[in-house]
Homo-oligomer: A and B are copies of this chain.
């Protein structure tokens, strides 16, 4: 069996108002071809189908066209789960009907516990699940974190798993040690959402979505496919594409996808930029971070004449104020550090109320450290 493992399509994604739907549509057409040419038997999509819980009609059309070609024309089973960007309810609408065509949509804990069996392989489709949902489902208030959530679901799976078969977990989560980027980080900031690799012992393979780089973790059986294209400017150096699992040969390979228009980031002086001396393709989607723009009127307008797909322009700060020496920083108190940071970011001093608040927070966090 040959399985194509995709993740994080984020159909309908925009970067600074630039809709990427056309690029996405072209990439998905390429995938339809690849599926045919590589004789893929099963397509797995590990969550974040859409970028928003209510996708646009155009985004829905692009995805529908893709799965129509794969599932209805090529008659290939499609297994997909909802990610944190998807609305589980909307993505799962009609799943009873899709199931009859070997298109399986996992959006609930119930779905997760009942494997989809294809030619001797059991696929467990575990969607993105919020801890509050698991707490309610299992009637267990001790479930607080994403780790607790997936641990509980996987324990349930382990009780019914058939060790005589090949067992594959498909999920959408953040494995400890994985590296995040801007476009993944939109979910809950500040809570523990990591899941430990140890959870996956019962499975032969684990196909993950959520992190956008296929290199987020190195493991023999646990893999991210990464997103199909670059979705933020801190992903510019990541490779993008999909994985193929050849179960017979026990091989996992990564295939690179190149979108019609790349996403690039460069720094330099405004003068060099306007003279096209930056090491970027003029026709890429671009973020430029440039110095010496202080006295330029409407630099964005001027640069767009040269770089028509310039999406973001940031002045480069070339100063003494921010790049402190490490030793200096170490000598500052917590409060002084916050004050200095506030000054650098806002160009004004913290007022008395703010100072008091920060002092209070620092004290509280000290107390917490001590009681740990």
A149 close to chain B: CB less than 8 A = no
Query: By the criterion CB–CB under 8 Å, are A89 and B72 in contact?
Result: no
Task: Pick the interface stretch among A96-104, A279-287, A346-354.
Answer: A96-104
Q: Chain A contact residues: over half helix, strand or loop, or mixed?
A: helix
Interface size of A as a range: 10 to 19
Residues from chain B with a CB closer than 8 A to the CB of A87 are 57
CA of A101 to CA of B90, assembled, Å: 20
A341 to chain B, nearest CB (A): 40
A68 to chain B, nearest CB (A): 6
CA of A135 to CA of B90, assembled, Å: 32
Given contacts A87-B57, A89-B61, A90-B60, contact A97 B98 (CB under 8 A): yes
A94 close to chain B: CB less than 8 A = yes
Query: By the criterion CB–CB under 8 Å, are B96 and A72 in contact?
Result: yes
In the complex, the count of this chain's copies comes to 2
Residues from chain B with a CB closer than 8 A to the CB of A68 are 96
A266 close to chain B: CB less than 8 A = no
Residues from chain B with a CB closer than 8 A to the CB of A301 are none
CA of A54 to CA of B72, assembled, Å: 26
> Chain A 32-64 against B: per-residue CB contact (8 Å), 1 yes, 0 no?
000000000000000000000010010011001
A342 close to chain B: CB less than 8 A = no
Most buried by B among A60, A90, A94, A96: A94
Closest to A90 in B: B57
A93 close to chain B: CB less than 8 A = yes
Residues from chain B with a CB closer than 8 A to the CB of A103 are 97
A147 to chain B, nearest CB (A): 27
Query: By the criterion CB–CB under 8 Å, are B94 and A97 in contact?
Result: yes
Which of B61, B72, B89, B90 is close to A97, meaning CB atoms less than 8 Å apart? B72
Q: A144-202: which have CB < 8 Å to B?
A: none
A37 to chain B, nearest CB (A): 23
Q: A90-121: which have CB < 8 Å to B?
A: 90, 93-94, 96-98, 100-101, 103
Residues from chain B with a CB closer than 8 A to the CB of A54 are 54
Closest to A57 in B: B89
Which of B64, B89, B100 is close to A101, meaning CB atoms less than 8 Å apart? B100
Most buried by B among A61, A97, A103: A97
* List of 6 A-B pairs having minimum Cβ-Cβ separation, nearest first: A57-B89, A97-B98, A72-B96, A94-B94, A97-B101, A97-B97
